[in-house]
Structure 1
Amino acid sequence: MSHHRKTRHYPLLICGTSFAGIGAGVAIGKDAFLVERSSSVGHEFIGAIHPGVARDKLPNSTFARELQEEMLDRNLLGEDGTIHLPGVHPVLCKHIHDQALHVQFMTEILAVERLPQGGFEVEIFHSGGLETIHVNEILDTTSTRLSTPQNLYTSTDKKSLNAYLHHAENDAHTPEPFHEEMSIVHGRFPTEIIVKLTLDAEIEWPEARKMLHDLWASRPKEWSSYTLAAVADQFEMKVPAGPFELEKGWNWLPSIGFENPLEALDQGYMFLINKEELTHAAIQKG
């Protein structure tokens, strides 16, 4: 790899400002460097319009419990675990700011190489151009394993394209789905109606959007008063939760593998906390 500037060094590189990535970042604090290829956060749930499976269980970590309480106070989370996705985005951004996390958006990982003396050399591309950084460890929380750009993960499971529906009447009865690959789920509020169109894994984005719009254009009469309010900007995917060790010091913990956003954040946090405790115990034993 070529060097274009003074090489920066970080104890931990976190790939993805996913819910798990942000949880992990909060756990490790200033020692973490988070890189995100998009300009958003929590996109695996928020951008996919995927509220996940509602659970009312208590998170493991103190941070996730405090966030859960904050979301309840802000009316973003129901007592039954249902979540209002759009309102969570600014809350995550606030915590990134308050925790002073080092986050760099619109950044692509181009290559990763193990260094002879330990750790990794990572080539990234961002608005400032090419840059090489050195990191001790890597935690990838992305759905497609973006830290392995030459060998991205491709799920063979079906995925879905989701969209918010709109109806002028807040208490309108939602009819039954009219297509075998169509399902309806609800967010935090009665007006949050989400339609999901299940698709084969190999279907690409342009075709998927066309399929959804064509399906909606031919909807039956009982659905005529409903309109597509917003279509997700990425697929809801099925990916195993992990963690998976790619190499020593390089782990993959896909955020979308967890049941809902709060669990993903909690598991990202706990993964780093548990890892730090194991390392400390090993040092004490040594």
Structure 2
Amino acid sequence: MHQVKHVSTMIIGASFLGLGLASRLGRSALVIEPSNGVGNEFIRSFKLSNRKYAPLTASGVELNRELIRRNVTDAEGRFHLPGMMPVLIKHITGQKLDVRMQTQVVEVYPSEGKFEVVCYDASGIRHIVADRLVDTTSRCVTKNQREHVKAKSLNMMLLGSPGTHSEGPSAYTICQGHFPNETVLKFAVDPMDDWITARSKLFDFWLNRPEPLRPCAFVTHADEFDMEFDTIQAQIQPGWDWLPSAYYANPLEAYDQGYNFEVGGRR
């Protein structure tokens, strides 16, 4: 028979929201992350915003101080996205959070008020029973929730300063990171577009880009979609919630919202 581990709360996704919640719950929570990175919904999607946010929780304030100390953010709240990941890793180790990377959710079986989660990692199949599930991923890997996707974009990093584009509807917007050479172009795609379709649209757009973008060079595109949602929380069933971290425009706000979330309750 397979060995079954029991945890109080399983958090799916080492997102900013997921890590905020795990920081409050401590060792009673287990975080599983399908990829080899943390904060992907912001860092690997090149998700930038001009919206400034001041953390409200003590843990969020501490995280922000570390970001400022390492020159990863500035007084205006602009972020150097690549520098955020090592700060999050340091936060995980400092808080002694139980985070398991490269662990995929295969299936979830509700049973007698609990949830048996079948996971797959480098060691093979594992079975974990959780009292509560909180899925913070953009794709809601425990149960597909695509109908709540309001918009998404495939973002790219630019080298150079784009000119001012005319007012009115546009396929792209420009966001500025912490440093002058961190210019991100947010290219809107259809919420139903898969990765191949979205990349094809982005490359076609760039080859025929408008005049304000002609002085710029294409450095790289994001590894993840920049997602927007029309819901903060969707209860799949009692004790099983989906809280997309990418709902929030600012990563520190997502962290605070996770820290303040009452597991098993409503916002």
Worse overlay, 261-270 or 205-214: 205-214
Query: Is residue 229 of structure 2 the alignment partner of residue 262 of structure 1?
Result: no
Cα distance in structure 2, aligned partners of 1:10 and 1:76: 34
Which structure: greater strand fraction? 2
Task: Give the partner amino acid of 1:160.
Answer: S
| Contact 1:37–1:107 under 8 Å retained in 2 | yes
Residues 227-273 of structure 1: CA deviation (Å, up to 9, x unaligned):
1112001111111352332222212211011121010011101114x
Mark the structure with the bigger radius of gyration.
1
- Aligned partner of 1:283 in structure 2 is none
Cα distance in structure 2, aligned partners of 1:197 and 1:121: 39
Compared CA separation, residues 113 and 236, structure 1 to 2 (3 A)? same
Aligned residue for 1:238, secondary structure, equals: strand
Query: Is residue 74 of structure 2 the alignment partner of residue 81 of structure 1?
Result: no
Task: Give the partner amino acid of 2:153.
Answer: S
**Which of the residues 129, 137, 140 maps onto 1:142?**
137
Q: CA deviation at 1:66?
A: 0.8
Cα distance in structure 2, aligned partners of 1:121 and 1:56: 37
- Aligned partner of 1:170 in structure 2 is none
Cα distance in structure 2, aligned partners of 1:163 and 1:37: 23
Aligned residue for 2:61, secondary structure, equals: helix
| Contact 2:48–2:184 under 8 Å retained in 1 | no
Worse overlay, 69-78 or 226-235: 69-78
| Contact 1:109–1:123 under 8 Å retained in 2 | yes
Compared CA separation, residues 198 and 266, structure 1 to 2 (3 A)? same
- Aligned partner of 1:209 in structure 2 is 199
Residues 181-223 of structure 1: CA deviation (Å, up to 9, x unaligned):
1211111122111111111112221121122122222335654
Query: Is residue 132 of structure 2 the alignment partner of residue 132 of structure 1?
Result: no
- Segments of 4+ in structure 1 off by > 4 A? none
Worse overlay, 203-212 or 173-182: 173-182
Compared CA separation, residues 241 and 264, structure 1 to 2 (3 A)? farther
Identity between Structure 1 and Structure 2 (%): 34
Q: CA deviation at 1:35?
A: 0.8
Cα distance in structure 1, aligned partners of 2:95 and 2:149: 37
Instruction: State the number of aligned residues.
Output: 263
Cα distance in structure 1, aligned partners of 2:252 and 2:225: 19
- Aligned partner of 2:36 in structure 1 is 39
Q: What are structure 2's unaligned runs of at least 5 residues?
A: none
Cα distance in structure 2, aligned partners of 1:75 and 1:265: 19
The TM-score, its normalising length taken from structure 1, stands at: 0.85
| Contact 1:19–1:255 under 8 Å retained in 2 | yes
| Contact 1:164–1:193 under 8 Å retained in 2 | yes
User: 1:1-286 to 2 correspondence within 5 Å?
Assistant: 3=1, 5-57=2-54, 59-116=55-112, 118-148=113-143, 151-167=144-160, 173-177=161-165, 180-220=170-210, 223-272=213-262, 275=263
Compared CA separation, residues 123 and 56, structure 1 to 2 (3 A)? closer
| Contact 1:56–1:80 under 8 Å retained in 2 | no
| Contact 1:241–1:258 under 8 Å retained in 2 | no
The TM-score, its normalising length taken from structure 2, stands at: 0.91
Q: CA deviation at 1:19?
A: 0.5
Cα distance in structure 2, aligned partners of 1:120 and 1:224: 53
Aligned residue for 2:64, secondary structure, equals: helix
Task: Give the partner amino acid of 2:131.
Answer: N
| Contact 1:241–1:256 under 8 Å retained in 2 | no
Q: CA deviation at 1:156?
A: 4.8
